[in-house]
Amino acid sequence: MNYKIAVLAGDGIGPEIVDQAIKVLKAVGKKYNHSFEFKAALVGACAIDAVGNPFPEDTFQLCMDSDAVLFGAIGDPKYDNDPKAKVRPEQGLLAMRKKLGLYANIRPVTTFKSLLHKSPLRKDLVEGADFVVVRELTGGIYFGEPRGRSEDMTKAYDTCTYTKEEVQRITKLGFEYAAKRNKRLTVVDKANVLATSRLWRETVQEMIPEHPEIEVDFMFVDNAAMQIIQWPKKFDVMVTENMFGDILSDEASVITGSLGLLPSASVGIHTSVFEPIHGSYPQAAGKDIANPIATVLSAAMLLELALNLTDEAQAIRDVVDKSMTAGVVTEDIAEGKAYKTSEVGDWLAKNI
């Protein structure tokens, strides 16, 4: 089969880590007799510098014409450190989510046996931790209107908005993931304070009778933040709104021992996007030291969720496990010799 993959490497370490995922996908294609056509486009700070738009129309059209999108990272200090900048790289990410209809972000949180000692939590707490955060991605305070600053710049305001349909759509996906796993769903909100959270809770409660096989519990976001650290193994599938999901999934990622290990998928109406959960890490850009594993595992999610190539996806996960066991890893998790980003990619592709 021939598949079209849009490559949006982005900023910082994005191009380096995406290159390694492409190496692995090409090796998969050779082994399983698939052909991947990779076409690159601009997004983020590099797109602003080139054309003044963090998500250009050409990039959008390429995404729409592709079977899947492999995405690196966006962000640059010259924009991060300028709060008055009118055009920002992150606007490209939000525009991509909105225009592609990417209403759900799927973030699996799993631990690697060979790296349990790298976790900031005790081994007995994290060993066997395996859950999925299903985050609503196109609503909430990140997209709500009105937003802005007062004329004298002494006041700022954002608006958090959700519709019943948006809650139903993301919760339905949460139920589907729970049904495939251990049949437990945790709904995270702040219903004791926020009207939007009360809408979430009411809507989910109405949906529970449709899924009698799923055990559902509700948890305030502050309690969830604590319990992810205290008892990470208690969670199976967590569904929540945009900002809560952003924060909680980043918090959950560190229990694995490195932010550079966890992949994600953004799925919805049009072409799905697959990306590591970490940022652009500009301090490491061009140094060949960034951990490419999260991006490689994102490529595995791409194969499974977008192309329905489950055996091929498992082959990537298996070779990543082998690299961990063999110590072929970058400096952030290395015990002895630290391998370069490109060396890890070469090893994975060779051993696929």
Give catalytic residue positions.
142, 190, 222, 246, 250
CB-based contact 121:88 (threshold 8 Å): no
CB-based contact 239:211 (threshold 8 Å): no
Residue 21's CB: how many other CB atoms inside 10 A? 32
Helix ranges restricted to H, the chain: 14-32, 45-51, 57-64, 77-80, 89-100, 123-126, 164-180, 195-207, 221-230, 242-253, 293-301, 310-326, 341-350
Q: Would you state the structure tokens that stand for residue 244, as one six-digit string? A: 């809560």
For residues 31-54, b (16+ Cβ closer than 10 Å) or e, as one string? eeebebeeeebbbbbbbbeeeebb
Give residues with Cβ within 8 angstroms of 170, minimum separation 6: 103, 104, 134, 136, 239
Q: What phi and psi values does residue 143 have, to the nearest 5 degrees?
A: -120, -10
How far is Cα 207 from Cα 352, in angstroms, rounded to an integer?
43
